[in-house]
Every structure is written in C-alpha cells, then in structure tokens.
Amino acid sequence: MDCARKPDSQGNKRWRLVIDYRKLNDKTIGDAFPLPNITEILDQLGSAKYFSTFDLASGFHQIRMSQEDAHKTAFSTPYGHFQFKRMPFGLKDAPATFQRLMNSILSGLQGIELFVYLDDIVIYSTSLQEHEIKFNKLMERLRKAKLRLQPDKCEFLRHEVNYLGHIISEDGVKPDPKKVEAISKFPRPKRAKNIKQFLGLAGYYRRFIPDFPKVAKPLIQLLKKDTPFKWTENQENAFNNLKTVLVTKPILQYPDFSKPFNLTTDASGYAISGVLSQGPIGKDLPIAINKGNLEEIPWRYIIRKLKEIFMEKTLTITICTGEVITPSVEARNNIIREKHESSVAGHKGITKTYQRIRQHYYWENMKKEIQDYVRTCKECQLKKLTRIKAKQPMVLTDTPGKAFDKVSMDIIGPLPKTQKGNEYILTIQDLLTKYSIGIPLGGISSASRPILADVFVKRFICRFGSPRAILTDQGTNFTSSLMKKVAKRFRIKQYTTTAYHPQSNGSIERSHHVLIEYLKLYIENSKNWDEWVELAMFSYNTSVHEGTKFSPHELVFGHLAREPTGEVIIEENMEPTYAEYLEDLARNLAEPKRQDRSKRDSANGAFKQVKTSA
C-alpha cells in the first residue's frame, strides 16, 4: 500500500491510495472490452470551433463493488484490515469495466455528439446553439446514471482545450506543452531502463514525428538482448533530435474528406514512413504521420504496416519482390493460357495459376479473369479428378531444421510399361521445403533392390547431400538389408510409417495425386510417360505450395525459377559480384525458411495445446 501525490488542476495537494494488486491481477481473467482509439477520436474533431471537456470525480470509485468480490480487494494497514466498497485503481479489468459503463450510459451519443475515453469526455461543435444541445444531452445522461463531475477539471466552451495529452483547437492537434517540456528536460539515460522511459514518453507523440523508428534506431539498439549499454555520439544525436522535433514540429491538421489527400512515402532498409496531407503540393499541411521499423519483420507484417500507413479501407496493396509488368488487355488471355496449360504450368488450379502469374504480372481484376479461365478449361474438366475435401485427424510432425535434413520416399506403380522398360516411379520429397523429385524405375523386385539403392545415391545424395533421416512405408524395398547398409554408410536414420496408414506420410501422398494428374493431362501414348516425369516435377516444384506459401524451388535455391515463356520479361541485372551473390542468396534463403518453420511450429503448438486440453 502507498499514498501517491495527485495534485488537482489548481496545484493543491491531493493523495490517492494505491494498492499493489499484481498477484490478484495474475489470477484475474482479462476483460477484452476495447478502449477507444485516441488517434481516431482526435481525427474526428475537425471543423469544430467550440470544445468542452469533462472529468468524472474519483473515476473508478463511482462503480460499486459486488459483495461477493469485494473481499478480493482487501489490504492491511497498521490500523486494521480493510476492503473497498467501490472499484479501486490498480485492478486489471477496471479500465475495461469503466469504459463499458460509459459506452452504455452514453449510447447514441458516443462517437456522434461527443467522445469519451474512460473518465474523460469531450463535446465539440461548430456553433453555440449546437454546443448547448450536446451539453444538455450529456448532463441528462450523467444525472440519470448518478455520475458526478469534478468541476475544477472541467473546461466549458473553449476554442482550445487539453484532451488526452493533446491540445485541440479549430486549427488542429498538437502535443501538450507540459508533456513536451517534460520530454525536453528528460536527463541523458544512464541505463536501458531510462531509455525505455524516454521512448515511452516520446512514443506517445510519435504521430507528430516523421521517421520515428529511423530517428530512434540508435536508442532502440541499446535495448536489444545481450547488447552492452554504451552511449555514443549516435545515441546522443538521436536523443536530442527527438526532443527538438517535438518542440518545433507543426500542428497536425484535421482531415477534410471532401478534399483530395496527398500521400508522401519514404523507406530505407530498416524503416518506412508516410505523411498524409492536404493542400497544394509544397504548401500542403500534415494530417497524419505514420512509420514502422522493417528490421527482422516478415513480409506479412510489412504488408499490414503498409495498410496502416495508407489508411487502407477498400485499397488493395500488392507487394512485388521484383519487376512486375502490366500487360495489354489483348495479351492477358495468352498469358493466362500459357501459365495454366503449358507443360511447365501443369493445368494447376485457380490459386496456383494465380500465384504463378503474379510473379511477373499484375492487372486489375486479374484473379477474377484467371478464375473464369480455369473453371472453363476443357482439359481440366475432362481429365482432372474432383476432390471432396474431408477433415482428417491431425497428424503431429516435427519440423526439420534445414532443407533435405529429413526426406520421405515412396514408390508409385505399377504403371503401363514404357518403351524403356519403366513401370514405377521413385518419389523423394524434402519435408521442409516440399521439393520433390521423381525417378522412373524398371522394377521393384528383390533383384531390383541394388538399382533402387544406386538411384537413391546417385540421383539424390550426389545432388543434394545425405539427409539426416528418411521416412518410408514398411515396404521391403526400403527395409531391405541393402538399404540399411546404405543408411548406415551415410549416417541416415530410417523411420517407417504405420502400416495401412498413408496419412503418416500425407505430404508425399498428395504429391503423387498431382503427378498422376499431370501425366493423365499431357501424355497421349502410355508407352512414353517416363519422358514427362521431369517436367511434371518441375511444374510441381515451381508452383506455390499451400502449406508453405512459397514454391519449393524458391525455398531451396533462394529465387524463383526462370521458366520458358512467349512473353517479354524484364530481366534484372545479371552481373553481381560473388560476394553480393552469396549475401543475397543467404538472405533470400533464410527468410522464407524462417517463415515456413514459424508456421509449422505455430500449427504444431496449437495442435499440442488442443490435444492437451482434450
């Protein structure tokens, strides 16, 4: 227990009883009722000339505690043991409870006639008559609810008021000078905790500071784990720049939705920012400033941040990692045909065809045109199976750490015997990237087992290296003594799936369906299907996988595969140095794989949690 000093608006001494409820809060189920967005409140005060603000007396104490919960607020003093009859400050769910109460009492007025954030209320108007009407409505609601105001903290009919740490007027919004003064007088940080305190103060007004992450980066670097606290000239400049910007920066204007907006953006390797303004270019006034730190952030978060910056509501943002062409209307149908029907494309479905096209092209309503084309493709309708998605029990699998650390193997067949004598296909799939290869085989009898082992070594290990583990079914081709000797020689652990349970190796089973479907679509003579296997696997490996959201080729090699095409594609600079190439390759390989592992770990974690709770 402690008594904190809380002076009133006149500076007179007042005290607030503060109880440490951290242990109680740890056991309290959180109330997710949302608090209003302060920025949205301030943005909607535009065009108003008159403002009045109101503060409820003793805030939370105006709510009575229920009798069955009052004892949980108990505390001890040298003079006895007490409990609260009214809701105290410090309870975890107190803000959400109070906001729900205010939203209920001011229902129909909140967001229309006035705004309320916890115990702070503001009414705004363009005329005195309008202001009087809103004031009377507010007083009537508060009177019925028996809520009391604190007169010395209320301001009536002002052209400029202090609300939620901001000065609001008909000219716009600016930071509270008292808060800015506190920031400008903040002493030089001596440890990481001081930096957090300073960034907490300055960060509240980050909407007024262009390039906030960029300016604050030297300070943020000292907060990283295992980074020694070393105050250099870079930190000193960042510290002073943040102070200076808040003192000298112009007022943010209110948006006028009847006039056009200007959007100015900037980005570097580690930060991105945007300024929304209105007015003639060069004389435009800022309305909103947004920014974000791009370091170590996956693209899905960058996309979300871009949408926030651009105040996206109906706008669609497409992130392009390379050069993108908007083809002519006449060329679009040919592009769709090529990317769907060619031997590389493989007559894939709507999503995979769309993903293949969007690597190089973009136009309005592109996905709708692709959808219409694929749905009317005669070859797909005649030769592709219509699958009914069935919910199967989840199978928990581990996530390999690197590409080709763990692979699965299986055999498809028997198929019609080809002119080269092949009847089977050996399939091998990397369980991290889903990169797959298919190798035609002449037979799988006991006499053919040396051929199987030889193919595995020469066609897989000599290309991709020795895996740490192999997952196969319990067929004798994979459990033979010869395969065990190969595994021992290359230090490979062998795992087998449960008998008659193909779901244990579901990923490679799914690739089998895709491979057989491809062969049905393209081969005209059943005697030469083995000549199409390589193309079928290339088509599979260059298609975006539903599970990883990347193509297997990109996850293995770090870039999209170059494909044969009848269209002109803008080529990138093909003359990097070896150092630049290796740096780019390492970066391109790391991020997709990290995202893929993250998705798998999250899915496995969720499954474990569900399984535990069940």
Pair 210, 273: CB distance under 8 Å? yes
Please report which confidence band the pLDDT of residue 477 belongs to, taking 50, 70 and 90 as the band edges. Answer: confident
6 plus 153 within the same structural domain: yes
Tokens, residue 368: 């709708």
CATH number at residue 549: 3.30.420.10
Note the pLDDT tens digit of each residue in 392-412.
554 445 667 788 889 998 888
Domain stop point among 113, 129, 157: 157
Residue 313 clears pLDDT 60, i.e. is over it: no
Please state the rounded mean pLDDT for residues 210-218: 78
pLDDT for the residue 435: 92
* Distance separating alpha carbons of residues 119 and 36, to the nearest angstrom: 12
Confidence tier at 570 by pLDDT (50, 70, 90) = very low
What span, in angstroms and rounded, lies between the C-alpha atoms of 377 and 366?
17
Which is more confident, 250 or 23? 23
If asked whether residues 429 and 340 sit together in one domain, one would say: no
* pLDDT at residue number 135: 93
Residue 306 forms part of a structural domain: yes
Task: For residue 368, tell me if it sits in a domain.
Answer: yes
Q: Is pLDDT above 60 for 310?
A: no
In a domain, 569, yes or no: no
Least confident span in 37-46, 190-199, 459-468, 602-611: 602-611
Confidence of residue 51 (pLDDT cuts 50, 70, 90): very high
Name the one residue in this structure whose structure tokens are 């190969």. Answer: 486
Higher pLDDT, 577 or 130: 130
Is residue 59 pLDDT above 70, yes or no? yes
Q: Which of 251, 278, 298 is the last residue of a domain?
A: 298
The structural domain count of the chain equals: 5
Taking only the tens place, the pLDDT of each residue in 77-88 is 888 888 888 888
| pLDDT higher than threshold 70 for residue 318 | no
Confidence of residue 121 (pLDDT cuts 50, 70, 90): very high
Q: 513 and 414 in one domain? A: yes
What CATH number corresponds to the domain at position 137? 3.30.70.270
Read off the pLDDT of each residue in 315-323 and give the average, rounded to a whole number.
53
Look at residue 64 and tell me whether its pLDDT is greater than 70: yes
Under 8 Å between Cβ of 135 and 123: yes
468 versus 394: the higher-pLDDT residue is 468
Q: How far apart are the C-alpha atoms of 581 and 565, rounded to whole Å?
A: 25
Instruction: For 356-399, give the secondary structure using H, E and C.
Output: HHCCCECCCCHHHHHHHHHHCCHHHHHHCCCCCCCCCCCCCCCC
Whether 567 maps to a domain, the answer reads no
Does residue 572 fall inside a structural domain? no
284 or 447, greater pLDDT? 284
pLDDT at residue 605 tops 90: no
The backbone torsions φ and ψ at residue 95, rounded to the nearest 5 degrees and listed phi first, read: -60, -45
Q: How confident is the model at residue 136 (pLDDT cuts 50, 70, 90)?
A: very high
Distance between the two ends of the chain, CA-based, in angstroms? 42
pLDDT grade, residue 604 (50/70/90)? Answer: low
Span 477-490, average pLDDT = 85
pLDDT at 224 (0 to 100)? 83
Q: What is the pLDDT of residues 151-191, one digit of tens each?
A: 888 989 898 888 888 888 887 788 888 888 888 888 888 88
- If asked whether residues 112 and 208 sit together in one domain, one would say no
195 has a pLDDT exceeding 80? yes
Predicted local confidence at residue 37, as pLDDT: 84
Q: What is the pLDDT of residues 369-393, one digit of tens each?
A: 998 888 888 888 777 665 555 555 5
Q: What token pair was written down for 116? A: 């309320």
Q: The CATH number of the domain where 376 resides is what?
A: 1.10.340.70
What pLDDT shows up at residue 611? 46
Least confident residue range of 37-46, 209-218, 288-297, 465-474: 288-297
Give the structural domain span for 48: 2-157
Average pLDDT over every residue of 243-252: 71
Range in 38-42, 227-231, 398-402, 485-489 with the lowest mean pLDDT: 398-402
**Do 499 and 510 fall within a single domain?**
yes
If asked whether residues 259 and 317 sit together in one domain, one would say: no
Position 612 confidence tier, pLDDT thresholds 50, 70, 90: very low
Whether residues 515 and 609 fall in one domain: no
Residue whose C-alpha is closest to residue 463's, from 557, 576, 334, 539: 557
Q: Does 510 reside within a domain?
A: yes
- Is the pLDDT score of 300 beyond 60? no
Percent of the chain with pLDDT over 70: 77
What is the reported pTM?
0.44
- Residue 138 above 90 pLDDT? yes
The CA distances from residue 600 to 433, 483, 596, 606, in Å, are: 11, 30, 6, 10
Higher pLDDT, 586 or 15: 15
Domain final position from 384, 419, 439: 384
Residues 143 and 68 in one domain: yes
Q: In terms of Cα–Cα distance, which of 321, 322, 344, 340 is closest to 332?
A: 340
Q: What is the mean pLDDT of the chain?
A: 79
Residues 123-144 have a mean pLDDT of: 92
The answer on 541 and 467 residing in a single domain is yes
- Residues 462 and 520 both lie in one domain: yes
Q: Give the model's pLDDT for residue 377.
A: 87
Q: Give the pLDDT band (50/70/90) at residue 598.
A: low
Q: Would you give the distance in Å from CA 367 to the centre of its chain?
A: 23
The answer to the question of residue 41 being in a domain is yes
Residues 447 and 498 in one domain: yes
Same domain for 436 and 467?
yes
Is it the case that residue 571 has pLDDT exceeding 70? no
What is d(CA 517, CA 347) in angstroms, rounded to the nearest whole number?
9
pLDDT at site 395: 47
Asked if the structure places residue 376 within a domain, the reply is: yes
Q: Is a pLDDT exceeding 80 seen at residue 296?
A: no
